[in-house]
């Protein structure tokens, strides 16, 4: 993630919270009628989102009814983010975050923002090792809906943008099942 990483964290936070200005900006990316309807539903049933300080934990925590979602935000102009890049720092962070969230029986999400993408939802969601510790209740239901962070044959974690769930599709599903 580059220097604009915090801008994408703020963008995702604003969208999840249903903030009018964030949704207005996001509408430029989501111009299909069904996406606009999804954004309208989100503005009426937003999350409470807390932005974490520093780089030693996840970036955001989204709260809503029976759901607590720690979220790690990644961004790239490329379709793939390799966790083994940058001296393996992202790989170590992944292991630590999975350990922390699993002990608390929470589902850790990775949100991948494609930079410079136009004409479709620029966000994709992934779950971090949903089968390591089976999750119960609503978190378990959500974990089965979101594809896991991929793993290479060498055992390194990788985000492949095309394999993720579009943010708006996930939120639409979530608002439907949680109503």
Measured distance CA(63)–CA(43) in Å, rounded: 15
Of 37-41, 76-80, 140-144, the least confident = 37-41
Contacts of 156 (CB under 8 A, 6+ apart): 82, 83, 84, 91
3-state helix, strand, coil in the chain (%, to 5): 40, 25, 35
Q: What percent of the chain has pLDDT over 70?
A: 88
Residue 48 pLDDT = 95
Q: Which stretches within 17-58 are classed as H helix?
A: 20-29, 33-44
Beta strand segments in the chain, E: 48-51, 60-64, 67-76, 80-82, 109-114, 123-127, 150-151, 157-160, 165-166
Q: Are 148 and 43 in contact (CB under 8 A)?
A: no
Q: Which CATH architecture has domain 5-177?
A: 3-Layer(aba) Sandwich (3.40)
Closest CA to 128 of 47, 62, 80, 58: 58
Residue 30 pLDDT = 63
Its pTM stands at 0.89
Q: Which residue has the higher pLDDT, 162 or 131?
A: 162
Residue 2 pLDDT = 45
Domain regions of the chain by residue span: 5-177
CA triplet 17, 20, 21: central angle to 5 degrees?
Answer: 105
Measured distance CA(47)–CA(84) in Å, rounded: 32
For 2-19, what is each residue's pLDDT tens digit?
A: 446 689 999 999 999 999
The mean predicted confidence, pLDDT, of the chain is 85
């Amino acid at each position: 993630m580059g220097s604009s990483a915090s801008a994408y964290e703020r963008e995702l936070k604003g969208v999840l919270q249903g903030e009018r200005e964030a949704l207005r900006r996001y509408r430029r990316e989501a111009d299909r009628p069904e996406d606009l309807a999804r954004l309208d539903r989100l503005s009426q049933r937003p999350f409470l989102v807390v932005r974490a300080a520093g780089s030693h934990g996840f970036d955001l925590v989204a709260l809503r009814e029976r759901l607590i979602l720690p979220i790690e935000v990644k961004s790239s102009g490329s379709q793939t983010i390799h966790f083994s890049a940058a001296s393996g720092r992202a790989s170590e962070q992944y292991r630590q975050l999975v350990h922390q969230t699993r002990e608390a029986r929470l589902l850790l999400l990775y949100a991948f923002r494609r930079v410079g993408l136009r004409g479709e939802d620029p966000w994709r969601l992934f779950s971090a090792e949903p089968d390591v510790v089976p999750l119960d209740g609503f978190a378990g239901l959500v974990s089965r809906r979101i594809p896991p962070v991929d793993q290479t044959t060498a055992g390194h974690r990788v985000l492949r943008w095309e394999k993720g769930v579009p943010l708006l599709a996930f939120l639409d599903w979530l608002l439907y099942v949680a109503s």
